[in-house]
Chains A and B, each alone.
Chain A
């Protein structure tokens, strides 16, 4: 790698490492694992290159990160494999990981919603988190996840609907 390529790679790391981390975190829900995936992602790019020619840098990085993160956890990999075969098959939306009683204890509203996002099913959580980036549209998210664009939109709507329901359920006891 030449000195100019080294400088470009350093700039890429400084520009996109936090984005890559968030993609990995959306999949793994664990900061340590997500950071390992970030380092693995950039090492792979450093060894093989190819990032200079990407049309959409973030979409390219998200695809690489997604694959590495999915390969990391067997449960996630299992779902990712099945989702590619049957994109419309959604699991039960109810999740018991973060109930209203637990989330009521959270003082910070962001932390509260973060815990709700964490509690979302994997196939709803990842499209929702990726949609937070302006650079990625539904078609690109679908290409990253290996599902049709319509499925991505449906899942994003369902994720938001579920979060709204949970937030509404939290407010009702206060209003009552």
Chain B
């Protein structure tokens, strides 16, 4: 009997307090009723407006920074064949056109120093030294060794490089072939 009673008790305990069907749905419906106020339309509109404003502000800051950087860092790289290479840096126009409001001699001096510094080109990139090509080497040797007259004529000839080449008419002189003298017989 005790064994049977224990089994009966355990079986009854496993079904004791069983809920009616659909309990989960009723609980979720109640929770959904609680959830609704969180999605108030007015709050959603305000949240959307704040989001749009923040996005526009960030976009404006980003664009202004980007345009400022693109103006201030345009660099001209010199051609390697130039004899006196130097880097030209386009300056920020605001720096070049910066005007100084004078309030005193000391400030004026400081502002003058700043504008002088600002007027100098910023060499953010230095030209890379390139080795001379064979043609450039030959030209340098010619300039070092040839006499002055030849150098001048060479320079003059360089000035007329763009003109069409004039080729003189080809003249072929008739060749005079002397008659062959027959060798004496029996000499070989």
CB contact list, A32-65 vs B, under 8 A: 34-35, 38-39, 42-43, 46-47
Whether a CB of chain A sits under 8 angstroms from the CB of B82 is no
| Interface contact B17-A113, CB-CB below 8 Å | no
Asked if A18 and B19 make an inter-chain contact with CB atoms under 8 angstroms apart, the answer reads yes
Q: Which residue of A lies closest to B4 (CB)?
A: A167
- Please report the C-alpha to C-alpha distance between residue A145 and residue B119 in the assembled complex, in whole angstroms: 84
Given contacts A160-B6, A164-B2, A167-B8, contact A39 B14 (CB under 8 A): no
A38 touches B23 (CB 8 A): yes
CA distance A128 to B31 in the complex (A): 31
A34 to B6, CA, bound (A): 27
CA distance A141 to B31 in the complex (A): 28
**Count of chain B residues with a beta carbon within 8 Å of a chain A beta carbon:** 26
| Contact (Cβ within 8 A) A31 B20 | yes
Residues on A facing B (Cβ under 8 Å): 9-10, 13-14, 17-18, 21-26, 31, 34-35, 38-39, 42-43, 46-47, 109-110, 112-114, 117, 128-129, 131-132, 160, 163-164, 167-168, 171
List the B side residues contacting A13 at CB < 8 Å.
24, 27-28, 31
Chain A interface SS verdict (over half): helix
User: A47's closest neighbor in chain B, by CB?
Assistant: B34
In the complex, residue of chain B having the shortest beta-carbon distance to the beta carbon of A109: B8
Our pick among A26, A35, A160 for the contact of B9 (Cβ within 8 Å) is A160
The listed residue (A14, A110, A160) touching B24 by CB distance below 8 A is A14
User: Which of B14, B15, B20, B27 has its CB near the most chain A CB atoms (within 10 A)?
Assistant: B27
| Interchain nearest-CB distance for B36 vs A (Å) | 12
- Taking a contact as CB atoms under 8 Å apart, the answer to whether B12 and A35 are in contact is no
* Known contacts A22-B16, A168-B1; is-contact A113 B8 (Cβ 8 Å): yes
